[in-house]
Amino acid sequence: MNQNLIETIVFLVAFVALVTGFIFLFSSKTSNLPIVKTFKESATIRVAASGVSILLAWISPWISLKVLLFILSFVLLISIFPIRKGLSSSLSIVLLVLFIMVITVPILGMGLFFNVKTKTIKDNGTKIDIPGIHINIPPITIPNSSNYDLRPHENFLPDKSISVKDIDSISIKVSSEIELELVEGDTLSYPSRLIETGDNKVLHLEEFSPIKNSTYVIKLGTSLAKNLDIDCTSVKIIGSGNIKDIHINSVGTTINADIVSENNIYINTVGFDLNGKLKGKNLNLNTTGSNIKGELDFDKIILDATGVNIDIKSKFNNFNINATSLNGTLEILNTPDETGEFYIDATGGSLKIINKSKAPIDIKNSGIIKLIRE
């Protein structure tokens, strides 16, 4: 049976029973009955009846019945005090009404609150049920921005080209991923979704509007070396070419390329993966985790990371590694007459150092790391 119908029936039955009871108590035909006289004269019985009413109101699942029983309990409770005519009688009635309102209104409000809350959790929306009033409020759906992350990954291929023959520096700044291929020639090819601006031989590529889960594919001609500045979420560099200076700031950086820098390479990234060759004057790697496999040829190398795994061949004048954990193999390519300094500061790990040419390399280490020399 429908719950609203049950509540209405119970409420009407209780109401009729109470009205009948009051008529029976105050009727002249029944006033002389022993049970009626005892109820009227005994304050204890009325207090007990008031307590039973409060208990029934407390356990009742319906708000309408709760209110009716609470009113009955307070009427019975106040009836134990003698009511005289005049000002005291009027004052007693006013106090009775105020007392009933103070007690029942908060209880009614609490009941409605919890009733609405329960309905909101169970149903797709909010349902308010009061005897005779039934309101259904449909749910309001607010778009979740995280849903946009579910869009499939999209690659934007180059469909626009520009000559960079007279350009000294190229700056690429996007919030998405970049795949940069170093090719021959003096042309820069890029997706038309990127905006190109220029300022004193500096070319800027930026997004027209950010797009999540996307990769911009760019091809850069390196016949004439340029300064390259990249700021993005993730970058992958492939191919081979010559660059003056490289500055990369990203969350993830992958280099599967052979790059010759006339000056410096600076990379600030969380994750760094190298599988190729890098050559220049100075190399500065600031990373959290690094996997380096390939060849490094620099005057000075600084590697600052939390965890480092290396399998590299390297020629250097000064090589400095500062890491929490360092593992792998380093093969020194310096010739017998090329001196060098190799300093390691690592908390733990194991490093094999291979120096086939017996180059005069000064090796120093601090921390707790196992060095194996061959």
Angle (deg, nearest 10), helices 87-122 and 63-78: 160
Residues 213 and 128 in one domain: no
Whether the per-residue pLDDT at 118 is higher than 50: the answer is no
Residues 262 and 125 in one domain: no
Residue-by-residue DSSP string for 199-227: ETTEEEEEESS--SSEEEEEEEE-SS--E
**Residue 168 belongs to some domain of the structure:** yes
Give residues with Cβ within 8 angstroms of 228, minimum separation 6: 169, 170, 172, 220, 243, 244, 245, 246, 247
Phi (first) and psi of residue 358, to 5 degrees: 55, 40
Residues 80 and 187 in one domain: no
Q: What is the largest CA-CA distance in the chain?
A: 131
Tokens 């220049």 sit on residue:
280
Residues 114 and 222 in one domain: no
Residue 279 contacts residue 301 (beta carbons within 8 Å)? no
Q: Which of 137, 160, 188 is the last residue of a domain?
A: 137
Distance CA 275, CA 292 (A): 7
**Residue 143 belongs to some domain of the structure:** no
Q: Which of 113, 137, 161 is the last residue of a domain?
A: 137
Structural tokens at position 147:
């849903």
Closest CA to 246 of 271, 204, 211, 283: 283
Residues 314 and 269 in one domain: yes
Q: Cβ of 354: how many Cβ atoms within 10 Å?
A: 14
Tokens 């291979």 sit on residue:
354
The reported pLDDT for the residue numbered 199 is 79
**Residue 289 belongs to some domain of the structure:** yes
Provide the 3-class DSSP secondary structure of residue 159: coil
Distance CA 329, CA 371 (A): 10
Residues 222 and 75 in one domain: no
Tens-digit pLDDT profile for residues 266-286: 999 999 999 999 999 999 999
Distance CA 269, CA 250 (A): 5
DSSP 106: H
Residues 81 and 155 in one domain: no
**Residue 145 belongs to some domain of the structure:** no
The reported pLDDT for the residue numbered 266 is 98
Mean pLDDT of 76-94: 53
Give residues with Cβ within 8 angstroms of 175, minimum separation 6: 207, 210, 232, 233
How many domains is the chain built from?
2
Tens-digit pLDDT profile for residues 297-317: 999 999 999 999 999 999 999
The structure's pTM equals 0.60
**Residue 142 belongs to some domain of the structure:** no
**Residue 358 belongs to some domain of the structure:** yes
Comparison of pLDDT for 101 and 181, the residue scoring more:
181
Residues 60 and 169 in one domain: no
Residues 131 and 191 in one domain: no
Residues 303 and 361 in one domain: yes
Residues 131 and 156 in one domain: no
Give the torsion sign (CA, 72, 76, 78, 82).
Answer: positive
Tens-digit pLDDT profile for residues 307-363: 999 999 999 999 999 999 999 999 999 999 999 999 999 988 999 999 999 999 999
Q: What is the CATH number of the domain that holds 199?
A: 2.160.20
Distance CA 344, CA 326 (A): 9
Residues 255 and 128 in one domain: no
**Residue 146 belongs to some domain of the structure:** no
What does pLDDT average to over the chain?
A: 79
**Residue 324 belongs to some domain of the structure:** yes
Q: Supply the range of the domain harboring residue 22.
A: 3-137
